[in-house]
Structure 1
């Protein structure tokens, strides 16, 4: 939902608002030159995690009003932050990138007391002391459009030139930060009179002193997030921040330079969510009583699992398979695994007769296979490539992993049978991303290869 907040001098600031106002609040502030669109995916993730999220365009940016008096100094942004916070239903955790983060840092640090403005602060690509050359590069990029661009593609090419660390420039994301002027040319979605906190500003030294004083006055949880190859945050920036805020946490996102948002949303979102869950936890709902089947199933659905297809050979030699997420490792010595199958299922009889089975772990691109093997159809293997190994059961090719097993034991499991197998042969491909299942839906997660080292 789009809303309008009022800045300290009456200027109207455009905002996206989502979630339940009764949930812990989060205020998202973009960087200089960005619009609130840069936070769209992060906001969606935070709302899904039970947060009330407000994402604001800074004054002179995006759909927020342009200041008639060209009031775009740092102090103006700082006062806007304090004014926005006062209009929110509860003290928010403030997450700010670049200029938005520095303004939040200043506003919170300059309003100390028994009840600070914010419950927590996350600074993205922002610190009390930053690399002048890196700031200059960003400022130059955001002021290069005076004559305008003929197309979105031309603007993307300029970004690639100014920010060579960006391995990929998303045309759609670039377009969200551009406006079409009356002359038909594209320009950044900011007031041309905007000066912001530029690298050549005569107020640079005074501003940094202001940041340092504000940082030293903070008494709330603080997290610094930056790319490990950022041009604006270096080791001296981190060391200075540690000295000012000894208790602060730091997270660097591998393989990312500037403008983390849009480059590695998966890593960025997970870092913020982890921090907020720890320092501003969301109160859990009141426990539901009873053990009705639907309630129990929903509760079990909160446990995220991988997705497998169990395969065996039927009584007439035909391939048999079904989707299962009740798969687990039991023992390494001897190598044992288990899964569960419905007691009344015809697959149970096939398993007993065959005496062997395979567990095929599905990867992120195999949701269709999972759906096929969970549907009521007789031709589940028609569009699937498979082969047989030593014990004659189907092995699905191109899976993330395969376990060929001999049945060791079958136990009573209520309305299910618990099948324990002795693993005889294994294949796996660690370069794949897993297909997940949570709360009745398929989920996907990207596992960065460097995170596995």
Structure 2
């Protein structure tokens, strides 16, 4: 089994450069990881290591305008562009992948799969996202992403901001890992590692507010689908889950106790358990993988 993880570049829609961590045997069942808005591929690092160790071929990429991927030249960050970027990566694979997407990444996966005219994915894992999210929770996300447009003087300041947004998550003693989500600009201050114009686009996909489009897409999906929900989430309500289930009768739900919207970061072991069980059921890795 090839457990080496390497950095690879893909050409997305309109030629944008997409940067990914890729690991595992290319002939193994493929899994694509899609992070949430304002995050980077590094939010999946624990999940990726586990999937590669289990024998999957994993592509974990930065969305346009995020992390090391290119920024849209015209500041456009609509759901259609994120879906087109995903389609560019899926087209490089010999078989349809399982798509694991958090928030914006989940909305992208749902939309791209439902609107495709040919088989696009083998299965879907939607992480704390449904077509009709709670608007109060959405406003909280936008408020956090909009705050501190002037950046941070120190890493500790950024860590304080994250701790205030996620008070239920213990503040890490070592904040060095947070630097993967920050970049130092010419002003000498630390800024979040995404294009600030992302928030200016009214069609942006985070938080995913396109209920009718996503419901339309969901109505076309017949593949196995798992919703992983943080029981402390302020974005996914019982009503939202019930509505999605009407569109997707095959929907499976894995609730993670003690997790908020950032499910994988809050409770990584419990998150992995639910996802791996789903994958074992619908797209098992080659026998003998550990």
TM-score (norm 2): 0.92
Q: In the alignment, which of 175, 184, 187 is matched to residue 171 of structure 1?
A: 175
In structure 2, how many angstroms separate the alpha carbons of the residues matched to 1:97 and 1:198? 10
Task: Give the match's secondary structure for 2:144.
Answer: helix
Q: In the alignment, which of 58, 70, 78 is matched to residue 73 of structure 1?
A: 78
> Deviation digits for residues 193-224 of structure 1, max 9, x if unmatched?
1133356x9xx4xx210000101110111000
- 1:149 is the counterpart of 2:152: yes
> Deviation digits for residues 356-406 of structure 1, max 9, x if unmatched?
xxxxxxxxxxxxxxxxxxxxxxxxxxxxxxxxxxxxxxxxxxxxxxxxxxx
Q: In the alignment, which of 187, 190, 202 is matched to residue 186 of structure 1?
A: 190
- 1:210: which partner in 2? 213
- 2:205: which partner in 1? 197
Task: Give the match's secondary structure for 2:265.
Answer: coil
Task: Give the match's secondary structure for 2:9.
Answer: strand
- 2:48: which partner in 1? 43
- 1:247 is the counterpart of 2:267: no
- 2:20: which partner in 1? 15
In structure 2, how many angstroms separate the alpha carbons of the residues matched to 1:224 and 1:150? 38
> For residues 229 and 37 of structure 1, do their structure 2 counterparts lie closer, same or farther at Cα, with a shift above 3 Å needed?
same
- 1:275 is the counterpart of 2:278: yes
More helix by share: 2
Q: In the alignment, which of 267, 270, 284 is matched to residue 264 of structure 1?
A: 267
Contact 1:5 1:87 in 2 (8 A): no
- 1:444: which partner in 2? none
In structure 2, how many angstroms separate the alpha carbons of the residues matched to 1:254 and 1:172? 27
Trace 1:400-419 onto structure 2 (pairs within 5 A): none
Task: Give the match's secondary structure for 2:253.
Answer: strand
Tell me, which stretches of 5 or more residues in structure 2 are unaligned?
1-5
- Higher RCO (CA-CA < 8 Å; seq separation 6+): 2
RMSD: 1.7
Task: Give the match's secondary structure for 1:262.
Answer: helix
Contact 2:222 2:250 in 1 (8 A): no
- 1:396: which partner in 2? none
- 1:131: which partner in 2? 134
In structure 2, how many angstroms separate the alpha carbons of the residues matched to 1:215 and 1:181? 40
Q: In the alignment, which of 157, 161, 164 is matched to residue 164 of structure 2?
A: 161
- 1:4: which partner in 2? 9
Task: Give the match's secondary structure for 1:127.
Answer: coil
Contact 1:112 1:217 in 2 (8 A): no
TM-score (norm 1): 0.60
In structure 2, how many angstroms separate the alpha carbons of the residues matched to 1:152 and 1:54? 29
Trace 1:246-395 onto structure 2 (pairs within 5 A): 246-284=249-287
Tell me, which stretches of 5 or more residues in structure 1 are unaligned?
286-301, 303-438, 440-453
- The size of the alignment, in residue pairs, is 280
Larger Rg: 1
